[in-house]
Each structure stands twice: as C-alpha cells, then as structure tokens.
Amino acid sequence: MKEETSQKPKLKLAVYWGAACGGCCVSVLDVHEKLLDVIAAADLVFWPIALDIKYKDVEAMPDKYIDVTLFNGAVRNSENEHIAKLLRQKSKVLVAYGSCAHMGGIPGLANFTTKEAIFKRVYEESESTVNPDKIFPQTHFDVDEGTLELPTFYNDVRSLNQVVDVDYYLPGCPPQSERLLEVFTLIATGAPLPPAGSVVGASEKTQCDECKRTKTENKKVKRFYRPIDIKDDGVTCFLEQGVICMGPSTRAGCGVRCIVGNAPCRGCYGPSEAASDPGAKMLSAIATMIDSNNEKEIEKVVETIDDPAGTFYRFSLPSSIIRRTIV
C-alpha cells in the first residue's frame, strides 16, 4: 500500500458496508477473474468483508486519500453514520452502491415500525429468544477493565445521501457486476465523469422499455393477484395479467433479470429521473388500471392489493416523502 514507486499511481479503492446483507460486497466479487484487472489498476485500501484493515487505519489516512469509495448499506446506527462521515472526508468520490445506500433498501422497511418495537421483538418475543431478565443492548457498559461500547441504534433507517453528500448512485439489489465494471473502467481510464449527483450504471429508460413480454395499451384489470395466485403464461405483460410489476416506474439497467426469470420487477433500481417520490408514480399507475368507475367496485379491487406501501416502496421507504410510519 505504501509503495508508490511505480510510474502510474494506482487508484485507491474502498468498499464499505453499512446496514446491508453483504450481497453488495459479494457482487463486487462477482466480477470474477476481472477482479484481477481491477487490482492491477487499483489498490483496495479498505474493505471489511475481505481485508483486515481497521477503522483507525482509515482515520489515519489524509483527507481525500481514497479515490473512490463504494458505500453499500443504509444508515441504521451510529457506527454506520460515523463511517459514512469518515469515508466522505477521506474520499474524492463517494458512491452510494446498491439500493440500501441509494434509497434505504430492504433495511429501510424497518421505518414501518419503531426502535422499541424492533427491540421488543428481537430481544424479548422472538421464538428463539430466552431472556427472562429482559436484558437489552446498552450503548455503554462498565466492566473492571473499562467501558464497553456498542453503536446507538437509531429510530429510523436513512439512505446515504440523508447523512452525507453523495457523488454518484449505482442502484440495484445488488448492482449488476457488469455495470460496476463499466463505471470502474470509466474512472480508471480517466474518462470524463457525469455530473455529481447522477445515477450511474443504469439506464434512463424504464424496465418496460427493455422488457420483451407482449404489451398492449389496454391495461385494465378487475382484480390484482399476488404472483403465487396466478399461473403466469410467461409471455403477457405481468400488469395485464393483474400481477403488480414495478417495471413502468423502475430504471432499466439490470437486463430485466427478474422478468426474464418470470418474476415481476420489484423496483430495486429505483425510480426514473423525474420521479420525486419513488412509489407515488407507481401507485398512480396501478390505481388507474382498475377497470371500474363504480366506487364500491373500485374499493373491492383496491382490497386485492395487499400491501401498497410495502409493494411500492419496497426498496425506497426512507427516501420517500412520508419516510416512516407516523407514531
């Protein structure tokens, strides 16, 4: 890491996980043998899933030392927030990598509940928990050797840009490795970068534009189905079969992988450029598909949509306008 004797200084790359499942870090490895090309062009200076580099080592780096940081995961606790701020300070380019950093992602669904309810469920009620003394995690605990500390668990899950300034967003759950390579190649070759704040590694078009299923203009349904309730014919647009598919309001870029696999789009690539709220456009589109002008009938069709909030904001609740349940 210290040897900078070679002619061309190598890029310094960092990958970090906040509140994440680890899938994004693995998606970096999914570039397979191309990782060798990456390593030829860049030094990985921080990557907790793969390298034993401590927080204090990052703290010791000069400001703007890291060229590119891929931050995946949402901001759930004080540790995530601290490292997000630290990496912002140490990095030239900070990329929100994956749906969680981009919009809050699946961990963001915790905004449907509260910290208290989560703690109660996890440390008291869950089937595998035995906790008769009701011991809950403490942020500070004094022992003979000193004080033990744990990060503070926040009330809300936040996306990365709700905590620090973000240069680029690379969406996906996880982002397609091909897109990462394209973006990385762009940076490594010194090509001009898009303006800060852009979504990179995704298309400006929607999933529907790339989807090969048969579509007509006549999207009218008498009821909605969950995918398990219907036998998909494998050819017709999911929406026309009454299955909610997030395609119309979701960016392309993944290669319509879910739909190709006969599952409706769940919206992990996030909304298109113009949408100020990720789920509103979808709610609007789905509602107008209801094939009735009669109030009672409309109510019946709406009943067949089980969980509108969770469906339309599956990956984006923290970055939506009403970003958590009102408690």
Chain residues binding another protein by CB under 8 A are 112, 152, 154-156, 158, 162, 276-277, 280, 283-284, 286-288, 290, 293, 295, 298-299, 302, 305, 307-310, 312, 320-327
Residues 18, 22, 28, 29, Cα dihedral to 10°? 150
Residue 305 near residue 244 (C-beta atoms within 8 A): yes
**Which is nearer to another protein, 149 or 299 (by Cβ)?**
299
Q: Rounded to the nearest whole angstrom, what is the least distance from the CB of residue 189 to another protein in the complex?
A: 39
Query: Among residues 108 and 175, whose Cβ is nearest to another protein?
Result: 108
Cis amide bond preceding 174, omega within 30: yes
Nearer to another protein, 93 or 309 (CB): 309
The H-assigned helical ranges of the chain are: 23-29, 34-41, 55-59, 78-90, 99-103, 115-120, 177-188, 207-210, 257-260, 280-288, 295-303, 308-312
Q: What is the DSSP letter of 6?
A: S
Which CB atom, from 76 or from 213, has the smaller least distance to another protein?
76
Least separation in angstroms between residue 281's CB and another protein is 8
How far apart are CB 307 and another protein at their closest, in Å?
Answer: 7
For the CB of residue 46, give the shortest distance to another protein in the complex, in Å. Answer: 25
- Closer residue to another protein, CB minimum distance, 65 or 112: 112
Q: How far apart are CB 310 and another protein at their closest, in Å?
A: 8
Q: What are the CA-CA distances from residue 227 to residues 134, 232, 248, 302, 312 (Å)?
A: 40, 8, 17, 16, 15
Q: Any idea what the Cα angle at residue 103 is, between residues 173 and 225, rounded to 5°?
A: 65
